[in-house]
Amino acid sequence: MPALPGLRRYLIVLAALGVLSATFVLVQAEGLATLLTGGGVSLFLVAALLGRAALTWGHGVLSGRFAATVRAGLRRRLLESSSDRAGVVATQITRGVDATDSYLTGYLPSLVVSVVVPIAVVVRLFTTDLVSALVVTVTLPLIPVFAILVGKHTAARTQWDLLKKLGGHFLDVVRGLETLRVFGRASAQASTVRAMASAHADATLKTLRVAFLSSLVLELVATLSVALVAVPIGFRLLAGSLDARTALLILVLAPEAYLPLRAAGAKFHAAAEGLTALREALAVPVVPVLSGARCRRRGAPSVVFERVSVCYSGAPALSDVDLTVPAGSRLALVGPSGSGKSTLLAVLLGFVAPSSGRVLVDGVDLRSLSASDWLADVAWVPQRPTLFRGSLASNISVSGSSDISAAARAAALDSVAAGLPSGFETPVGELGEVLSAGQRQRVGLARALARSSAGLVLLDEPTARLDSRTEAAVLSATRRLLPGRTAVLVAHRPAMAGLAERVVELRDGRVCAEVAA
C-alpha cells in the first residue's frame, strides 16, 4: 500500500503539539494545586489554560487542512484508478473519502497525544509520590488492553464492504432500470437491494453495540483506576503523611494520564470505517500515464510491439505479444471476449503500462513520449464512449473540431439530432439519457471522425450496438477516415474486419494467427 503523502510531516507536528500539550497539563496542575491550597491565581495557570485552548484550536485547524488535502488526493487517485466498477468507485469517492475525516482529524491526533501526555504525567508523579506513580503505571496499560479486546469484535470492515457492495449494485440497477423493466426483473432487483441494505444496517448496529460497550469498559476502567489513586491519597491526607498541595497535585494529574487514552479509545470505532476506506483507496491501482517529454512528428506512425505482457492482479491479459503495424496500414484484431484486444489498445494509448516488453512508435519507446502530444494525434472510439454534461454538439466537439455537422453526418448521427427537441443543442446528460446505446456509440464515432488530422485511428468495436443499416453507413464513413492513417481495429463482425489489410487473432492474450484480409 502506498504511503499517505505528507503523513510523516503531519505526525511530527502532532508530536510537537503533544509535547506542548503535556507541558501545559503539568503547568495547569501545578497552578490549580497552588490555587486550591490558598496560593492565589498565578500567571502560569492562566497561560496554561490559554495555551490548552490555543492548542485545541491549532489541532483543529491543522487536522482540518491535512484532511482536506488527503481527501482531494484520494478522490483524484480514485478517479484515475483502473477500476471499471463505477458504483464501487462512486461509493469510495463519496462516503469512503469523507469517512477518513474521523480517522485523520479525530483518532490520529488523539493517538499521538495519548502517547506523549501520559508519559509526561507519570514522570511527574514519580517525582512527586512514588506510590501513586506506581498505581498509575500499573493501571494505565489496562485501558489499551481492554480497548483491543473489545475492538477485535468490531465489524467495521464488514460494514464497509457491505456499503461498497450496496452502493455499486444500486448504481448498476439504476443505470439498467429500463432494461430490467423490459425483462420483468425490476422487482427481483429491488428485493436484492433491500436485502443488501438490511445486511448493511445489521452490520452498522453491531458496530454501534461494540462501540457503546467499548466506551463503557474504558470509562469504568479509567474511573476505577483514578479511584485506586484517590482513595489512598485521602487516607494518607487524613493521617497527615501527605500535605494538601501534593495531594491535590496528584488528584489533578491522575485523571489527565487516563484522559487521552479514553479519548483515543472512544474515537477508534468511529474511525475504523474511515481507516478501512483509506487503506483501500491507497491500494487502488492508478492508471499510469505517459510521463515522457518527447514529441513526435504528426502523421501516420509505425507501431511495433516487442514481447509485450500485461498482468491484472497477477492474471495475464497479454503474454509476449510481438506485433508490427507499418505506417499507414490497417490491422484488425479478432478473437473471443477476454482475449486481450481492448488491453492491447489500452497499452497503445498509454493507459496501461506493460508488465514487460515495450511499444515502439516510429522507433521510439512509447513511454518516452509526451502524453498530451501523443494522444492529440490519436482518434479513439472505445466500446462505451463517455458522455459529458452538456449538449450533443459539445459532446462531439470535445475532440477539438469545429466541423460538428460533417462529423455527425459521417457517423449517421444527423438523423438522430433531427429527432431531438433542440437538435444538436439538446442536453444529453452524463449518462446520455435521451440517447440509445447505439446512438451513444455514434457520438463516440463522430468524435473520432471530427479529429480528421489524427495519424492513428483506434476503433474498439464501434458498430457493436448498431443495426445493419446504421452499421453500413458508419462503415462507409469509417472507410473514408482510414486512408493515409495507421489504424488498429477491434472487430467482432466480419464487415469491420473487412476494412483491414491484415487480421490478427488473439487467444488468451497471445497472437495465435495472422492472415491477410
One domain, residues 268 and 170: yes
Instruction: Based on the fold, state whether residues 352 and 230 are members of the same structural domain.
Output: no
User: Is residue 1 very low, low, confident or very high in pLDDT (cuts 50, 70, 90)?
Assistant: very low
Confidence of residue 150 (pLDDT cuts 50, 70, 90): low
Question: Is 298 part of a structural domain of the chain?
Answer: no
Same domain, 242 and 307: no
| 466 part of a folded domain | yes
Domain hosting residue 172, numbered range? 7-283
DSSP H helices in 80-141: 86-91, 97-101, 108-126, 130-139
Distance CA 103, CA 97 (A): 11
The answer to whether position 403 is within a domain reads yes
Domain of 79, CATH number, reads 1.20.1560.10
Encoded amino acid at 279, one letter: R
Q: Residue 40: what pLDDT?
A: 72
Domain annotation covers residue 291:
no
Strands 456-460 and 303-312: unpaired
269 and 385 share a domain?
Answer: no
Buried b (16+ CB within 10 A) or exposed e, 280-294: bbbebeeeeebebee
- Tell me, yes or no, whether 261 and 322 share the same domain: no
Contacts of residue 354, Cβ cutoff 8 Å, sequence gap at least 6 = 308, 309, 310, 318, 347
Pairing of strands 486-490, 378-381: unpaired
**Could you give the CA distance from residue 490 to residue 353 in angstroms, rounded to a whole number?**
20
pLDDT at 163: 63
Are 200 and 343 contained in the same domain? no
Length of the chain measured in residues = 517
Residues 265 and 332 occupy one common structural domain: no
Cell numbers at 450, concatenated: 471530427
pLDDT tier for residue 152 given thresholds of 50, 70 and 90: low
Specify if 390 maps to a domain. Answer: yes
Same domain, 121 and 168: yes
> Is 289 within the bounds of a domain?
no
Instruction: Give the distance, in angstroms, between the CA of residue 437 and the centroid of all CA atoms in the same chain.
Output: 28
254-308 tens-digit pLDDT: 888 888 888 887 777 667 777 777 777 777 666 555 555 667 677 888 889 988 8
Q: Is residue 430 part of a domain?
A: yes
User: Do 42 and 158 fall within a single domain?
Assistant: yes
Boundary residue ending a domain (283, 317, 339): 283
Residue 342 lies in a domain: yes
Instruction: For residue 512, name the pLDDT band (cuts at 50, 70, 90).
Output: confident
Confidence of residue 89 (pLDDT cuts 50, 70, 90): low
Q: Which of 170-179, 316-325, 336-345 is least confident?
A: 170-179
Kindly state whether residues 253 and 354 are assigned to the same domain: no
Q: Is the same domain home to 241 and 315? A: no
The DSSP H or E segment spanning 52 is: helix 43-79
Q: Are residues 140 and 267 in the same domain?
A: yes
Which of 173-177, 348-352, 499-503 is least confident? 173-177
Q: What is the CATH number of the domain that holds 335?
A: 3.40.50.300
Number of domains present in the structure of the chain:
2
Name the domain boundary from 283, 312, 333.
Answer: 283
